[in-house]
């Protein structure tokens, strides 16, 4: 069977892994990194994905899309706050969903996520030497049905067969407990860039059973970044009466500086944020500078309201699992934001012990997803995963009440049947409104769909017996059936297309991605050629600058080649020209190194012949029998990249 990968599609960064020789392994990307920024940028006619997209974000804030996961599967009304603070343009779609506007084009969150997935899978295919078409993709445990389906659609648009959508904490437990013997009760504390999950699991002897899950899909490390952004902006406004958040480019610089400060304060007691030329003084038209010192204690004060929100989901998960904190054997930290010292302190305070440090919080989810992919393709045996539904499912009953049929944290797959009746006399039909959530009233929960059961025989209210069955399969797909007992009449619905995207729109995006696959491949090859040439240019410049005693005529061929490389980069040359410039620079640099090494060797040899202080001593016979060219360094130069 063809290989399948596990993908952690993150808010900030994404990771891809595969089973190799029975072990889950992270696959590095084309830049040689183990994580890929979940960033897509549109610049001129080019589309950039990953690190290269992130690097140019400050100069292209309106065309650089990041934190897209916070919008996927959601309606406009659910994400107004996130939309308002983004430096790029987010608008309401005609269908009530979210669209990103770049130039004269609009993109859905699923399309942008698919571009990140496509880059990762294409590069992984090159690494393993075969085309990858199947994947297990992880999502926050607290994602609702529409967010999960939207993630699955992103995989479909990217050309993938999504074998399973797996909860991130569950995947982390798979990676942690794959080789564990005996039974442990594990709490996974997953604080990523945009979401927060807590899951309690029983792990051991190949069985992974989720006992409970809780979370907050509007809480993550990027919220900490924005707390720092707001503080910087307010301090700057007090001093200069300029609100930097109204300038998209300045806002992008603030966001990057906020993230950098958060990371630095995880290891340092204080950091200095310095942003020159951040704005212009409206009165004097002189450039303004931002320079602020941020201590760890001040940072913790800024994010205190966010840290407080971490408590309730932990307490809720323990309560739903019917466990005391003393019964938790191990705590697994997942997500980059768990490196914040204040977060670790809260975990210890809530659970009474330090977290296990044996897993990499950035990679453990993707490794677990790779294990699940191995289980589904037959590469991994003797592992059983029992997951739960994160939110309650039910129907709307008289008075707009939400009546639950399947409680949250019920192990899936599951089937549940309840009997209902009519509210009015001689009612010949009923409408079944399928809902997901935890609120008491139907309008406050997520609507998943509606269907009608018609043709009921006229009877007094309370007489008809209508059985409603909820059936959730292993993939989390919900099937609902309504049946009137006396007549046997039945109607049903499969809860799909709960996102704002219709099936025809998804298919259009799949076709569009397929049509542009060759174009994307060529764009990636050009980007890689640019990176290689730029790295080689910098390396050549360093070699020439550090070559003491080299004559100008020796340096000139390399200087000319460096200038040619710079010109090709500045003019956005095509791949053929970039490759040609790389080859010319590599040859010129190799000849320069050989010439300067030969010159150095000749100088050393001459010193020894005159009885000077050579390596073998004056006139000693140790070096007399050596061949002349052994003093020459034959540099085998290979271009960087």
Active site residues: 8, 69, 168, 190
Q: Is the separation of the CB atoms in 48 and 69 below 8 Å?
A: no
Rounded to 10 deg, the angle between the 109-128 and 517-545 helix axes is: 70
Contact, 230 vs 221, CB < 8 A? no
From CA 447, how far away is CA 466, in angstroms rounded? 21
For residue 157, the Cα-to-chain-centroid distance in whole angstroms is: 17
- Per DSSP (E only), the strands in 10-76 are 13-20, 23-26, 36-37, 40-43, 46-49, 64-65
Widest Cα–Cα separation across the chain: 121
Give the separation between CA 588 and CA 582, rounded to whole angstroms: 10
Other CB atoms within 10 A of residue 636 CB: 7
> Do residues 559 and 588 lie in contact, with contact meaning Cβ atoms separated by under 8 Å?
no
Q: Give me the residue label for tokens 């100088």.
A: 603
CA dihedral 233, 238, 240, 241 (to 10 degrees): 90
Helix 503-515 to helix 109-128 angle, to the nearest 10 degrees? Answer: 40
Task: Using CA atoms of 224, 228, 230, 234 in order, give the dihedral in degrees to the nearest 10.
Answer: 160
Shortest CA distance to 98 belongs to which of 85, 116, 114, 82?
82
Sign of the alpha-carbon torsion through 233, 234, 235, 236: positive
- Angle (CA) 5 8 10, round 5°: 150
Q: Which residues of 328-359 are buried (b: 16+ CB within 10 A; e: fewer)?
A: bbbbbbbbbbbbbebbbebbeebbeeebeeeb
**Nearest in space to 199 (alpha carbons), one of 208, 188, 207:** 188
Closest CA to 69 of 140, 6, 161: 140
DSSP character for 546?
A: T
Length of the chain: 641
Between strands 207-216 and 384-386, the pairing is parallel
d(CA 581, CA 535): 12
Cα–Cα dist 573/378, whole Å: 46
The CA distance from 484 to 458, in Å, is 12
Which CA distances in Å does 451 have to 11, 66, 416, 549? 35, 37, 18, 85
Whether residue 631 contacts residue 597, with contact meaning beta carbons closer than 8 Å, is answered with: no
Do residues 555 and 547 touch, judged by C-beta distance below 8 A? yes
| Residue 23 CA: distances (Å) to CA of 88, 174, 208, 349, 370 | 40, 12, 18, 34, 9
E strand residue ranges, 219-377: 270-280, 287-295, 330-334
What is d(CA 268, CA 194) in angstroms, rounded to the nearest whole number? 24
**How many other CB atoms sit within 10 Å of the CB of residue 30?**
21
């Amino acid at each position: 069977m063809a290989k399948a990968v596990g993908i952690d599609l993150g808010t900030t960064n994404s990771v891809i892994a595969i089973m190799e020789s029975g072990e889950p392994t992270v696959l590095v990307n084309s830049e040689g990194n183990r994580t890929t920024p979940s960033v897509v940028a549109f610049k001129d006619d080019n589309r950039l994905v990953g690190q290269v997209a992130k690097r140019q974000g400050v100069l292209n804030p309106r065309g650089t899309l990041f934190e897209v996961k916070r919008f996927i599967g959601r309606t406009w009304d659910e994400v107004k706050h996130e939309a308002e603070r983004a430096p790029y343009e987010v608008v309401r779609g005609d269908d009530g969903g979210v669209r990103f506007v770049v130039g004269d084009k609009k993109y859905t969150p699923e399309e942008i996520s698919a571009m990140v997935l496509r880059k990762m899978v294409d590069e992984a295919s090159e690494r393993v030497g075969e085309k990858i078409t199947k994947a297990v993709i992880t999502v926050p445990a607290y994602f609702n049905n529409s967010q999960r389906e939207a993630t699955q659609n992103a995989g479909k648009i990217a050309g993938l067969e999504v074998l399973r959508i797996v909860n991130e904490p569950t995947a982390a437990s798979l990676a942690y407990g794959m080789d564990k013997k005996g039974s442990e009760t594990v709490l996974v504390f997953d604080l990523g860039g945009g979401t927060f999950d807590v899951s309690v699991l029983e792990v051991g002897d190949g069985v992974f059973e989720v006992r409970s899950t809780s979370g907050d899909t509007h809480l993550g490390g990027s919220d900490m970044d924005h707390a720092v952004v707001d503080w910087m902006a307010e301090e700057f406004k007090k001093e200069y009466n300029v609100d930097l958040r109204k300038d998209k480019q300045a806002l992008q610089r603030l966001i990057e500086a906020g993230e950098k400060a958060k990371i630095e304060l995880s290891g340092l007691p204080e950091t200095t944020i310095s942003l020159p030329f951040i704005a212009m003084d409206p009165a004097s038209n002189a450039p303004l500078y931002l320079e602020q010192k941020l201590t760890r204690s001040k940072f913790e004060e800024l994010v205190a309201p966010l840290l407080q929100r971490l408590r309730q989901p932990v307490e809720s998960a323990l309560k739903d699992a019917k466990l005391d904190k003393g019964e938790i054997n191990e705590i697994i930290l997942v997500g980059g934001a768990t490196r914040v010292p204040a977060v670790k302190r809260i975990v210890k305070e809530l659970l009474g012990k330090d977290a296990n440090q044996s897993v990499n919080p950035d990679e453990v989810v993707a490794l677990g997803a790779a294990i699940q992919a191995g289980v589904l393709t037959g590469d991994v045996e003797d592992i059983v995963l029992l997951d739960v539904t994160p939110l309650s499912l039910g129907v709307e009953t008289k008075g707009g009440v939400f009546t639950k049929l399947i409680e949250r944290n019920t192990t899936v797959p599951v089937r549940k049947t309840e009997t209902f009746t009519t509210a009015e006399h001689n009612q010949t039909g009923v409408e079944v409104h399928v809902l997901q959530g935890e609120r008491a009233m139907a309008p406050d929960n997520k609507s998943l769909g509606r269907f009608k059961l018609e043709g009921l025989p006229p009877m007094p209210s309370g007489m008809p017996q209508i059985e409603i069955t909820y059936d959730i399969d292993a993939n989390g797909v919900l099937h609902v059936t309504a049946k009137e007992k006396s007549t046997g009449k039945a109607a049903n619905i499969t809860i799909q297309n709960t996102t704002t995207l219709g099936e025809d729109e998804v298919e259009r995006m799949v076709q569009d991605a397929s049509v542009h696959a060759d174009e994307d491949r060529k764009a990636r090859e050009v980007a890689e050629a640019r990176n290689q040439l730029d790295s080689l240019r910098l390396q050549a410049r360093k070699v020439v600058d550090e070559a003491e005693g080299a004559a100008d005529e020796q340096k000139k061929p390399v200087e000319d080649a460096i200038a040619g490389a710079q010109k090709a980069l500045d003019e956005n040359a095509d791949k053929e020209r970039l490759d040609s410039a790389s080859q010319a620079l590599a040859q010129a640099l190799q000849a320069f190194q050989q010439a300067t090494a030969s010159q150095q060797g000749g100088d050393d040899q001459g010193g020894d012949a005159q009885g000077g202080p050579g390596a073998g001593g004056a006139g000693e016979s140790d070096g007399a029998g050596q061949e002349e060219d052994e003093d020459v360094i034959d540099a085998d130069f290979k271009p960087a990249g």
